[in-house]
Amino acid sequence: MTPDEAMQAAAAHFSAGRHDDAQAMAHAILQAIPRHFYALHLLATIAALRGQAEDAIDFSSRALAIDPGHAEALVNRGAALRMANRFEEALADYDRALRLAPRFVAAHSNRGVALAALNRYPEAVESYTRALELDPGHLRSRFNRGLAYLVQGDFEHAWADHEARWGGSDTLGAARNFGVPQWTGREELQGKTVLLHAEQGLGDTIQFVRYLPLVLARGARVVLEVHAALVPLFQQFEGVHALVARGDALPGIDLHCPLMSLPLAFGTRVETIPAAIPYLRAPEDSVSAWRERLGERKAYRVGLAWSGSTTLRNDRNRTLPFSQLASILVPGIEFVSVQKEVREPDRAALGAAANVRHFGEALADFRDTAALVSQLDLVISVDTAVAHLAGAMGKPVWVLLPHAPDWRWMLEREDSPWYPSARLIRQPRTEDWASVMERVRGELAKR
């Protein structure tokens, strides 16, 4: 097999999803021809798909040493640099690619992502818009532009773009097909059965279930489908025709609407966010059980949540190692872990923290978590479902945010229109949790 034939076979393996075979063949090609551009380019692509940022940067750089004017290789290295949080370098690669190929849609789109990571959102919007001018069907650019609008508080332009999240594999996946139309806010609901269904993470569901009373007020019979973990807590909602765990059989419906499409349906602006807090409460029997479990309150009691689901986007940037959080454990405060699960690297540090109580498996479901939160004076949490739960309950919560936050926390402000009891504490620079910990420790020391 000639090198060209081997490269064609490697590319075929890659296209068919056989990445191990493609990788092995590309390495074999490099054994024979160490400066084979396309083998290096393919290895960079595979490494990036596997989240191996440093390998992707290395292979891309070696490819670019052979062909410095290859725009696609520049975009690929930019993506790998972005993965490594080297956003300025990524931006430089995208700019170089665009000088070579001014109409390269992926370069404009990825440039927007790098700018957003640098908190340069107006420029990010410009890049996404340019990508859409060149390719109006580029759903990733439309979705990301929606996020850039949202984080700036420009809800008027944001929500329509946000619908592009259901564009297929390039966004959050394909929209679910229920065989009935999606409710857009314009259709009459009186006497109709409408399915409101959760999407994305548990925190998203907790945040957007606030729209339930608005739909009920329109005369709809509501079927609410949520993650199984939230069903016990959500049984408190009155007026719901059926509460269903995702995956279970649904009753007959006339319309459906994803929970995160309700802001578009209701034309939500920052000043009209439904904020009738609390809209979630802990069940009284669970509260009694946790009051007894915790015992007499002898000090100011603070709940801690430092990591969320590993399956969610941006987990790396929003999660703290417990060893770093331990720096805020000032004397005279009773700290309580509000996490059921603890990642393996955190277990030793948590076990060594004498003034942190951890209940683990005793938090059977979100009723228990809500009951535990109800017995706290304050919750300190990274951007995870616990922060949303505390906010929805009206409990004081300090939300620790990365430098480029998720859209819902917007920019610069220390408060949240979604959760009036929240205080937002932000990284001043990318990956600078030390400054956040110093500030939190100083505030706790005043208690």
184-243 pLDDT, tens digit each: 999 999 999 999 999 999 999 999 999 999 999 999 999 999 999 999 999 999 999 999
Looking at the fold, whether 240 and 314 belong to one and the same domain comes out as: no
HEC profile of the chain: CCHHHHHHHHHHHHHCCCHHHHHHHHHHHHHHCCCCHHHHHHHHHHHHHCCCHHHHHHHHHHHHHHCCCCHHHHHHHHHHHHHCCCHHHHHHHHHHHHHHCCCCHHHHHHHHHHHHHCCCHHHHHHHHHHHHHHCCCCHHHHHHHHHHHHHCCCHHHHHHHHHHHHEECCCCEECCCCCCCECCCCCCCCCCEEEEECCCCHHHHHHHHHHHHHHHCCCCEEEEEECHHHHHHHCCCCCEEEEEECCCCCCCCCEEEEHHHHHHHCCCCHHHCCCCCCCCCCCHHHHHHHHHHHCCCCCEEEEEECCCCCCCCCHHHHCCCHHHHHHHCCCCEEEEECCCCCCHHHHHHHHHCCCEECCHHHCCCHHHHHHHHHCCCEEEEECCHHHHHHHHHCCCEEEEECCCCCHHHCCCCCCCCCCCCEEEEECCCCCCHHHHHHHHHHHHHCC
**What confidence score (pLDDT) does residue 249 get?**
97
Whether residue 171 is contained in a domain is answered as no
Whether residue 181 is contained in a domain is answered as no
The CATH number assigned to the domain holding 365 equals 3.40.50.2000
**End residue of a domain, out of 247, 272, 297:** 272
**What confidence score (pLDDT) does residue 443 get?**
95
Looking at the fold, whether 242 and 207 belong to one and the same domain comes out as: yes
State the Cα–Cα distance between residues 405 and 84, nearest whole angstrom.
17
Task: For residue 32, give its domain range.
Answer: 3-166
Whether residue 175 is contained in a domain is answered as no
**What confidence score (pLDDT) does residue 169 get?**
53
Whether residue 362 is contained in a domain is answered as yes
Whether residue 277 is contained in a domain is answered as no
Looking at the fold, whether 103 and 141 belong to one and the same domain comes out as: yes
Looking at the fold, whether 91 and 201 belong to one and the same domain comes out as: no
**What confidence score (pLDDT) does residue 205 get?**
98
Whether residue 309 is contained in a domain is answered as yes
**What confidence score (pLDDT) does residue 168 get?**
60
Looking at the fold, whether 161 and 218 belong to one and the same domain comes out as: no
Whether residue 279 is contained in a domain is answered as no
**What confidence score (pLDDT) does residue 166 get?**
85
Looking at the fold, whether 153 and 206 belong to one and the same domain comes out as: no
Looking at the fold, whether 49 and 156 belong to one and the same domain comes out as: yes
Looking at the fold, whether 264 and 290 belong to one and the same domain comes out as: no
**What confidence score (pLDDT) does residue 447 get?**
79
Intervals of the chain under pLDDT 50: none
The CATH number assigned to the domain holding 84 equals 1.25.40.10
Looking at the fold, whether 23 and 100 belong to one and the same domain comes out as: yes
**What confidence score (pLDDT) does residue 240 get?**
97
**End residue of a domain, out of 224, 246, 272:** 272
Looking at the fold, whether 35 and 121 belong to one and the same domain comes out as: yes
Looking at the fold, whether 268 and 128 belong to one and the same domain comes out as: no
What is the number of domains present in the chain? 3
Looking at the fold, whether 16 and 149 belong to one and the same domain comes out as: yes
Whether residue 140 is contained in a domain is answered as yes
pTM of the entire structure?
0.92
**What confidence score (pLDDT) does residue 352 get?**
82
The CATH number assigned to the domain holding 239 equals 3.40.50
Spatial contact of 422 and 399, defined as CB atoms under 8 Å apart: yes
**End residue of a domain, out of 218, 240, 272:** 272
